[in-house]
């Protein structure tokens, strides 16, 4: 079960991030997690929010480059080696991870991660088949 992620292509300059988060907040959309990838010229802001499509529509109207796609989100035991075991599993199955970031929840004892791989569906299948706990969007909000 993959979850939806909003990503926005922004300028690498002061205020870019604030503008995005402001716009989303003004629409009453709640952010759950966020990660910024930056290069010297631009950044990509990746956001898990409770209404990614609504947020994209808002940004589209403003002429911004926004995209909603599915990413894998899963839980691992909050202990040393918890994440490594999942990554080892994926690597063993030839899954290429493009990026990954942590998702913070109030639930203790577990750590949540979001990742984009070369093949989201296949990754989902592998995680399910190996009993890794997945996050669905209903659990997030």
Residues that bind another protein (CB under 8 A): 5, 7, 9-11, 37, 39, 41-42, 44, 46, 60, 63-67, 69, 98-99, 116
Nearby residues of 123 by Cβ (< 8 Å), 6 or more positions away? 72, 90, 95, 115, 117
Residue number with CB closer to another protein (78 or 121)? 121
Smallest separation (angstroms) from another protein to the CB of 73: 15
**Cβ proximity to another protein, 53 vs 107, nearer residue:** 53
**Minimum Å distance from CB 10 to another protein?**
6
From the CB of 79, what's the least distance to another protein, in Å? Answer: 31
Which CB atom, from 42 or from 51, has the smaller least distance to another protein?
42
């Amino acid at each position: 079960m993959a979850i939806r992620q909003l990503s926005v292509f922004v300028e690498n300059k002061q205020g870019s991030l604030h503008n995005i988060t402001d716009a989303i907040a003004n629409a009453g959309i709640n952010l759950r997690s966020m990660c910024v990838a930056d290069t010297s010229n631009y950044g990509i802001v990746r956001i898990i929010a409770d209404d990614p499509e609504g947020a994209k529509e808002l940004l589209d109207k403003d002429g911004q480059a926004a995209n909603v796609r599915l990413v894998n989100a899963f839980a691992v035991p909050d202990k040393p080696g918890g994440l490594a075991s999942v990554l080892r599993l994926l690597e063993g199955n030839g899954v290429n991870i493009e990026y990954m970031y942590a998702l913070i929840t109030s639930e203790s004892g577990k750590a949540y991660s979001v990742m984009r791989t070369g093949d989201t569906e296949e990754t989902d299948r592998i995680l399910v088949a190996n009993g890794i706990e997945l996050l669905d969007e209903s659990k997030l909000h």
